[in-house]
Chain A
């Protein structure tokens, strides 16, 4: 049946010492190039008239939708979070969508990429938390409700990060592997259906990744009110 590549990490273009230029890095840069070039193109013809170019309209719709979703999920002002969360969502979504192009395996199908993205979220949570609440108040959260909970809170943080990485990796890799296996057995119509299904799950996973990252950041930056003065309920109900 030939070799089934589990991940794009194994396709190596060039190697020198410990540094491997594998397909994951190349495809990641391709996705980045697509995003940056389209954004720069729209930026160069940004206009305020009543008739705006279609691409600019699309970008505005995207940014506004992401902003509104972040506002609803976090219950806070979404402006500081939109760049980070929006980039996460757009990167994973575009990486999935470009999978239509022949010869392109989404770089998120490799544990390296998803681990890197989830490490970004892991460092972003204290960053936003300390920026909003101050160092002492943020670290004090780990000692609530009692200082005995400190190891469990830390383990909770680490396991959430790990779960983010493995969830995205498992979803994307399973799509690629199933498509590859079916190509070997039933090469006519079924792989197309599986490819479509892979696209849908990819978009859903992009949304889930962004929303979960937002929930973690929001639960770290939420100003803790007194229990009896709690007036705002989190709309998702996921925060404790």
Chain B
């Protein structure tokens, strides 16, 4: 029961940080493109790679939530050793 609440909290809290960080990254990228439009290919590529790295933390939280909801080791153990 507690693990359901924690699973919800994990994704909720874990998405806040990366969302802020990605917003700031995109703002900087857009300002750089506005300043140097001929470099926009490089800037876009770097932006995407940076976004992926920032996103990974959110994905770690999501994976843990999924494990808690669908493959909860505690429940599986309880069910396995049940009647």
Contacts and interface: CB of A to CB of B under 8 A. Distances in A.
Interface string B52-71: 11011001101100100011
Given A166-B60, A167-B59, A235 B42 contact: yes
Contact of B62 (A73, A170, A236): A170
Majority SS at the chain B contact face: helix
B68 to A, nearest CB: 12
Contact of A170 (B46, B60, B70, B71): B60
Interface stretch (A89-97, A118-126, A205-213): A205-213
B62 A208 contact: no
B48 interface: yes
Contacts of A163: 53, 56
Contacts of A205: 52
Given A166-B56, A236-B42, A204 B63 contact: no
Contacts of B77: none
A166 B59 contact: yes
B70 to A, nearest CB: 5
B11 to A, nearest CB: 10
The 5 closest A-B pairs by CB, nearest first: A170-B59, A208-B52, A167-B56, A170-B63, A236-B46
Interface of A: 4, 6, 69, 72-73, 163, 166-167, 169-171, 173-174, 177, 204-205, 207-208, 211-212, 215, 235-238
27 contacts: A6-B70, A72-B42, A72-B45, A163-B53, A166-B56, A166-B60, A166-B63, A167-B59, A169-B63, A170-B59, A170-B63, A173-B66, A174-B59, A177-B66, A204-B52, A207-B48, A208-B48, A208-B49, A211-B45, A211-B49, A212-B49, A235-B46, A236-B45, A236-B46, A237-B46, A238-B46, A238-B50
